[in-house]
């Protein structure tokens, strides 16, 4: 195989999100860039399979919109992002969509979660077990409720932190 890497200013190995972004930035600055990937498609760990007409994402459902690098790279408004309700919607063998969620975070999900027949009582008990979080402190367990608080990276990148500085 002929090595053409000397023909380019930069050779980026890996056409995942990082490699593609690096290549795009470098190319925009006027460098001649070649991207190589061992796989037969770009995207790396981000991929979508089409099965029976359904688009199935292999991963990457949650986009943390506060990262400055993301905002510099992507026009977020164009993505028409929508917030996820914490929970799950599962298409059952009956063809119906069954919706479940933590009622402490989203009270309107309490009734559908309790009355839905897709899971038996035992499995619902396990769901409750997940809601009650054990701690490393003896005899102390936690039930969290209310909206999900921002994670530390969101706080660090938020406008509020900029105001504190
Ligand atoms: C199931 C799943 C769910 C996820 N969900 C989220 C989410 O909700 N939110 C989020 O922010 N992140 C999520 N992630 C993480 C996110 O997908 C990755 O952090 C991101 O895609 C990594 O991009 P990358 O370019 O660094 O690496 P990769 O995507 O791994 O790309 C590396 C590329 O390099 C190629 N390569 C490697 N070695 C060689 C070699 N020697 N020669 C040639 N090519 C090579 C590989 O084929 C690959 O294409 C998820 C990941 C998975 C797997």
pLDDT by residue for the chain (165 residues), tens only, comes to: 566 667 899 999 999 999 999 999 999 999 999 999 999 999 999 999 999 999 888 877 778 888 888 988 989 999 888 877 777 888 888 898 888 877 777 788 888 888 888 888 777 777 666 777 778 888 787 777 666 666 666 666 666 665 655
Residues 120, 104: Cα–Cα separation, whole Å:
20
Residue 21 Cα: closest atom of ligand 1:
25
Residues 136, 35: Cα–Cα separation, whole Å:
47
Q: What is the pLDDT of residue 40?
A: 92
Q: Is the distance from the beta carbon of residue 61 to the nearest atom of ligand 1 less than 6 Å?
A: yes
Up-side HSE of residue 147: CA atoms within 13 Å toward CB?
5
Tell me the pairing of strands 33-36 and 10-13.
parallel
| Burial of residue 103 (number of CB atoms within 10 Å: 0-12, 13-18, 19+) | middle
Q: How far is the CA of 43 from the centre of ligand 1 (A)?
A: 7
Residue 43 Cα: closest atom of ligand 1:
49
Q: Does the reported pTM lie above 0.95?
A: no
């Amino acid at each position: 195989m002929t090595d053409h890497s000397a023909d380019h200013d930069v050779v980026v190995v890996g056409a995942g999100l990082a490699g593609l972004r690096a290549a795009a930035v470098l190319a925009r600055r006027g460098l001649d860039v070649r991207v190589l990937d061992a796989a037969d498609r770009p995207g790396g760990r981000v991929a979508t399979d089409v099965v029976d007409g359904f688009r199935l994402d292999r991963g990457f459902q949650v986009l943390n919109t506060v990262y400055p690098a993301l905002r510099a790279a992507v026009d977020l408004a164009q993505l028409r992002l929508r917030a996820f309700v914490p929970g799950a919607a599962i298409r059952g063998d009956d063809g119906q969509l069954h919706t479940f969620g933590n009622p402490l975070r989203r009270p309107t999900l309490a009734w559908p979660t309790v009355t839905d027949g897709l899971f038996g009582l035992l499995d619902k008990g396990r769901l409750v077990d997940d809601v009650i979080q054990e701690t490393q402190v003896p005899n102390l367990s936690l039930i969290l409720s209310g909206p999900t608080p921002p994670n530390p990276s969101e706080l660090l990148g938020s406008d509020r932190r900029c105001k504190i500085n």
